[in-house]
Amino acid sequence: MRTTALALIISLFTLTASQAFAQDGSQWRRVADAIPLGSKVKIQRLDGSRVSGTLMRVDDVTLSLKRNTRLPEAPLAVTFDQIANIEREHGGGMSWAKAIGVGVGAGAGAILTILVIALQLD
């Protein structure tokens, strides 16, 4: 009895959670229209799978996504009624080039500061 009640409660929570996060396809179309073509996006489907890639096209029923893969493949069409979430990726993290630039700048600043102090002591 206790197991049955627990299973019933868990199934109710999972059903209401998936319905709460699911939106109408027309709402996801408006969200996709607001994202500029060529932007990197992450899409979570209702079945839980995730797809990331570059937004290529948005039409009435689907959006086309060029997946981020090493080997070229055909664009993936995702219908709006399959989408649970669309998120635009914002790049802006620390890359190796940025880290090297910051390190070189800090080193040059430190050397120039030491040089100015040394010239002031003479």
| 99 and 86 housed in the same domain | no
Residue 87 lies in a domain: yes
Q: Both ends of the chain: CA-CA distance in Å?
A: 90
Range of the domain at 77: 22-91
Model confidence over 101-117: pLDDT tens digits? 999 999 999 999 999 99
Domains contained in the chain, number: 2
Name the H helices within 22-73. Answer: 25-34
pLDDT-derived band of residue 25, with 50, 70 and 90 as boundaries? confident
d(CA 32, CA 64) in angstroms, rounded, equals: 10
Cβ contacts of 106 within 8 Å, gap of 6 or more:
none
Extract the tokens encoding 41. 């996006």
Cβ contacts of 82 within 8 Å, gap of 6 or more:
45, 46, 47
| 44 and 101 housed in the same domain | no
Residue 23 CB burial class (10 angstroms; 0-12, 13-18, ≥19):
middle
The reported pTM is 0.56
Residue 13 lies in a domain: no
Extract the tokens encoding 88. 């635009």
Across 6-15, 77-86, 90-99, least confident range: 6-15
On average, the pLDDT of the chain sits at 83
| 81 and 122 housed in the same domain | no
pLDDT at residue 68, rounded to an integer: 83
Residue 7 lies in a domain: no
